[in-house]
Amino acid sequence: MKAASKSLSLLDKTFHVNPLPGTRSIKLFYRLVGLLGPGFAQLAGSARGKGIGELPVAALGSAAQMIFAKLTDEEVDYVLNTLLEPCYMVEGATRVPAMLAFNTVFSGNLVAAHKLVLAALEVNYGDFFALLRAQGIDLSTAELPSNNAPAT
């Protein structure tokens, strides 16, 4: 069964988020688990039924430090390029690869950029998002500010 695609409107542009092929998806998943797993495990251990907003700042800071210490520029480039490779933006009648449009569209709009990345993660790994939610960690895009409003 093929994973579902998703369309979303960000900054008055339409993006189509498509799943990665199976082997690319699982390779990226294992890489992401290696990068993010320890920090998320610590966060889940601290959550114990609480929402992420209810956690002490120290727990969030410690988990964030574990996560961001491993995210080198090269890792971020690899993850973005791989995750967004099958995704595109619609420009009139043309499909523009998401990564070709990324710097132009999302310059100064990092909240919208993160919404696209989270949508791609949900399309490819949605079942794991459900596991995180069961642990009290909700990474859904609903908590982020509006797509077309600047973050303050």
Q: Mind listing the pLDDT tens digit for each residue in 21-43?
A: 999 999 999 999 888 877 777 76
For 52-79, write each residue's pLDDT tens digit: 666 666 767 777 787 788 889 999 999 9
User: Looking at residue 135, what is its pLDDT?
Assistant: 63
pLDDT (0 to 100) of residue 88: 97
Residues forming a β-bridge with 88: 16, 97
**Where do we find the tokens 């791989």?**
82
Per residue in 116-135, pLDDT tens?
Answer: 999 999 999 988 777 767 76
| SS3 state at 68 | helix
